[in-house]
Amino acid sequence: AIETAMPRWQRLAHHATHHGLYLLFFAVPLLGWAYSSAAGFPVVLFGVLPLPDFVPVSEELAGLIKPLHKLSAFTMMALVLLHVAGALKHQFVDRDGLLSRMGWGRG
């Protein structure tokens, strides 16, 4: 398999990137919801479903959460770019057929 052929550092990077993305898929929106709630902004899911406040309104708490939300969002963007770069490396440098095994109707 492709993963067993990778050097150890690449396997570690692969797993760390995936785990980080999964964590941030939940953390970024939850931190955004918490910031909006603390700042007193209503959150309406898909413009239809109003969500309850996640945390109490607090200017101090909003000031603490906002940079965490921003950092987590930028970290997620960096991990997405790293993930894409890894896929392109497999396609054009390693030529191991990884991209052809991804998605619908994979073989």
Q: What are the pLDDT digits (tens) for 32-70?
A: 999 999 999 999 999 999 999 999 999 999 999 999 999
Q: pLDDT (tens digit, 9 = 90+) per residue, 16-29?
A: 999 999 999 999 99
Q: Which residues pair with 51 in a beta bridge?
A: 43
Per-residue confidence (pLDDT) for residue 107, from 0 to 100: 53
E strand segments, the chain: 43-45, 49-51
DSSP conformation class of 22: H
Please tell me the pTM assigned to this model. 0.85
| DSSP codes, 77-98 | HHHHHHHHHHHHHIIIII---T
Report residue 106's pLDDT band, with 50, 70 and 90 as the boundaries: low
